[in-house]
Amino acid sequence: MSEPSTPTSSDSAASRAIVCTDVTQRYDGDSGLFASGGRTVTALDGVSLAVDDGEVVGIAGPSGSGKSTLLHVLAGLATPTEGSVEIRGTDLATLSRRRRTAFRSANLGMVFQRFHLLPALTARENVALPLVQRGVPRGRRRDRASELLDAVGLADREAHRPGTLSGGEQQRVAIARALAADPAVVIADEPTGELDHDTGERVLDLLTEISDDRAVVIASHDAHALDRTDRVVRLLDGSRES
């Protein structure tokens, strides 16, 4: 694997899908997930990285190292306390909440660790959701969703709702949904965490195959999944290991 790259002035803007520069993320210690009796928690501390089109980058580190926080910042779901994140040359911090949501819909596919499937919708309808937001006609949405569910081995489960699917099946639906709108950047948090070896291999095959013309970022504890990436960025206590 090649050495991890960081943004420099000589980087070609045309090839950079993601440029994350000196990102720090702090949380108020009195509230939320990071409540700590008044102590401010620094989840990320001056993290920089760049990801090229056509590259699969792994994010590694122990629990609490900042992997999920970094993914949320890269996806524009959290605004860093300091530093900047650019996706295809757009600084996410310059966008209003509405424009940032529209930008994510057009450019980013996110695989959440907790799936976030809508329980009232079938697997096919969940996968098609990003296409509804983009105004794709119903027939094309159905065809695209069915194609992706077949790619992740769920062709026979597309009419099932999430409550009737196993955790691994729900994870595959979430992966198919992230790919539905053909995003420029795919960000996946533990995409093989609920999957058996063979199914995990199928998902990793899919994620690496789609990287030919887009960037893929995968956070994982799974050494085998990280071995399938082009390079690995390692975090420890919110900082990037040298």
Domain limits, the chain = 16-29+40-240
Per the prediction, the chain carries an average pLDDT of: 87
**In this structure, what are the phi and psi dihedrals at residue 174, rounded to the nearest 5 degrees?**
-65, -40
Task: Look at the domain 16-29+40-240 and name its fold.
Answer: Rossmann fold (3.40.50)
Bridge-based pairing of strands 82-87 and 16-27 is: antiparallel
Q: Express each pLDDT in 180-216 by its tens digit.
A: 998 999 999 998 888 888 888 888 888 888 887 889 9
Residue 117: exposure state from Cβ atoms within 10 A (0-12, 13-18, ≥19): buried
Q: Could you tell me if residue 164 is left (phi over 0), alpha (psi between -120 and 50 degrees) or otherwise beta? A: alpha
- Is the overall model pTM greater than 0.95, yes or no? no
Q: Express each pLDDT in 60-104 by its tens digit.
A: 999 999 999 999 999 999 999 999 999 999 999 899 989 998 898
